[in-house]
Chains A and B, each alone.
Chain A
Amino acid sequence: MKPSTPQPADDDRLDAFVQVLRSGDGPQRPEHEPTRAAASVLRTALLRAGEQAAADDAQREDALIAAWQREGLLGVEASSRPKPARSILSAWLERLRSGTGGARWLTSASAIALVALVAVYLPVPDEPAVPAEASEPGAGAMRGAEQAVRLEVADPAALVSQLERLFAERSVRYRVVAGVDGAVVVQAQLTGHGDAVTEALRRLGVPVPSTGRLNLLVSGLRPASSP
């Protein structure tokens, strides 16, 4: 009678199978040979499918990285990112240090420009904070919610989605934090984005702030109280 190959325990087979899936190699014992072959087939198939899916992922990755570059997320941290005025100022200082044309800058109308540059540079406000999920979850926004303009709508989620789409299209820096009872806090820095954004906000029925900083608490309509 032909001696039968010993059958590994069920747990052993799963371990061997998983090991081959992960690394392409597994236990070398003869009783594991069929399991290794089976897992190897599945691994090859998954790897091939993964290569095809990688093309789709690459497109998404490119779009995401392009968006991060537009928003200035790739580069110097937000707090220390050079502001435009500072860049011009450093270029001017560079010219002074190199001695090429520095004297002309000082003696001409550029002195007035320098004063103007400093005036522009000084009041540059801090950029809005990073998304709330990354720090204390929404703590800053929830503190801001106390001063927020309240807006009650039938479908807060739909309005917030429209606002998010608008801000993303116009590269407006914003953040959205969920509040209590389904309310949502939306904050955005509107300065420097022209009338198109404020006009779009008006069309959506959102009160446009005169300060250029939107601070809105969107909540659902309260049910009419029963008699």
Chain B
Amino acid sequence: MTEELPASNRQRLDVSAVQAALARGGAPAEAAARQLVRYCRPILRARFFAERVDLQDVDDLVSEVLTAIVGAIARLREPASFDAWMRQIAQNALNQHWRERGRARECFVEPGNGIQGAEFDTALAGFERLVADAPDPSNTDPETGLCISRQLAELQARHPDRHACLELLVQGHTPAEIAEQLGRSYGAARQFISQCCAVAMTYLAPCLEAAELLGRKRGAAEIDR
């Protein structure tokens, strides 16, 4: 039986407080603006990457939407509808983006690229074995740490949509929330999440393999001594 998943533990945005602080100006407004940016940016990035916006355009588009939000948030009457309002602004910006580039909105392409949904279990099984055998990666040598950060940078460059989805997960968004933010059905989002996790594990696996090998060599050297 599946255990009950806890509610999302991500930080919520107090929209009313942000509205009040932005209207006050000065330091409170700046702090509120930063809070707003940190809340919205990962969601908007994940959304735009999922819509296949070019890597170099995503941050510009995010800034554009954030500016629209800051400029108009004072007129938002229902703080509870902030997320839906933000999604609508993002959608308008996206429509404008595709129009300016003279092409129709690209359809969501199920991220296959050789990693199918079912492969989550295969990737997990292999990764579990590596984690059990390798030295504790949270307290690992600098070489493995460097390898992991390089691999994650590569993952972000090649699969920005998956990396952005993983970031949302690590920040505490539930799969249902991610489905809503990306405008996908729960089932599609869940499958996408499983693929994201599978890809991430395949990227990190070589680092753990190397760490395991290094650990074995060190163990052998100590026995020799």
Contact = CB atoms under 8 A, between A and B. Distances in A.
A15 B5 contact: yes
Interface string B156-199: 10000000001101101111000000000000001001100100
Given A21-B170, A45-B148, A35 B6 contact: no
Prevailing SS type, chain A contact patch: helix
Interface residues of B, number: 70
Interface in B42-76: 59, 63, 65-72, 74-75
B71 A12 contact: no
B2 A12 contact: yes
Nearest to A22: B172
A41 B135 CA distance: 11
B71 A134 contact: yes
Contacts of B170: 21-22, 43, 46-47, 50
Task: Place the interface of chain A in its size category.
Answer: 35 or more
Given A45-B148, A45-B204, A74-B30, A17 B137 contact: no
Interface in A67-100: 67-69, 73-77
Contact of A64 (B23, B67, B124, B145): B67
Contacts of A60: 59, 63
A182 B204 contact: no
Contacts, number: 167
Contact of B6 (A23, A47, A134): A23
A22 B174 contact: yes
B67 A68 contact: yes
Contact of B2 (A15, A43, A132): A15
Contact of B72 (A11, A34, A130): A130
B200 interface: yes
Given A15-B2, A38-B127, A60-B59, 11 more contacts: A13-B124, A14-B120, A17-B197, A18-B5, A23-B9, A39-B197, A41-B127, A48-B148, A50-B170, A131-B71, A134-B69
Interface of A: 9-19, 21-23, 27, 29, 34-35, 37-50, 52, 57, 60-61, 64-65, 67-69, 73-77, 130-135, 137, 157, 160, 178, 182, 184
- Nearest 10 A/B pairs, CB to CB: A134-B72, A75-B25, A34-B128, A74-B29, A130-B71, A133-B92, A131-B68, A49-B152, A133-B68, A21-B169
